[in-house]
């Protein structure tokens, strides 16, 4: 099970559109295009699931509750065996659901 847990810093005093922000963060994960980090994909490929805590400023990490929590996961797990490959966030966007603070939101990554 390849899950990825991230803390993301918005570097902003507030997030106007949390749904659009969540979509942007997921797109950056799928493209591995963050400025300051790279997801390690060489050994195990892209993760199957993402759990992301979002903070406004770096000083808040692990000191205050995140301003939002993003979850990106398959709508259902592929069947085990029979050569069925596991889903990953990059190659199977159509199989995924996006949640912000536990509420499913529209997701357009195909």
Q: Give a yes or no: residue 110 inside a domain.
A: no
Tell me the pTM.
0.86
Q: How many domains does the chain have?
A: 1
CA 85/CA 57 separation, integer angstroms: 38
Q: Give a yes or no: residue 63 inside a domain.
A: yes
Whole-number pLDDT of residue 84: 64
Q: Give a yes or no: residue 47 inside a domain.
A: yes
10-residue averages of pLDDT along the chain (110 residues): 88 96 92 75 79 97 97 80 73 93 86
Q: Give a yes or no: residue 15 inside a domain.
A: yes
* Domain hosting residue 79, numbered range: 3-105
Whole-number pLDDT of residue 81: 46
CA 6/CA 104 separation, integer angstroms: 19
Whole-number pLDDT of residue 1: 58
What are the tokens at 17? 């559109």
CA 73/CA 95 separation, integer angstroms: 8
Residue 81, sorted as left (phi over 0), alpha (psi -120 to 50) or beta, turns out to be left
DSSP 62: T
Whole-number pLDDT of residue 42: 64
């Amino acid at each position: 099970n390849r899950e990825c847990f991230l803390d993301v810093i918005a570097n902003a005093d507030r997030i106007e559109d949390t749904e659009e922000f969540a979509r942007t963060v997921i797109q950056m994960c799928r493209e591995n295009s963050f400025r300051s980090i790279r997801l390690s994909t060489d050994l195990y490929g892209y993760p199957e699931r993402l759990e992301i805590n979002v903070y406004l400023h770096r000083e808040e990490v692990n000191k205050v509750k995140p301003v939002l929590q993003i979850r990106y996961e398959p709508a259902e797990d592929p069947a085990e065996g029979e050569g069925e490959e596991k889903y990953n966030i990059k190659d199977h966007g159509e199989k995924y659901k996006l949640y912000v603070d536990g509420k499913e939101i529209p997701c357009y990554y195909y």
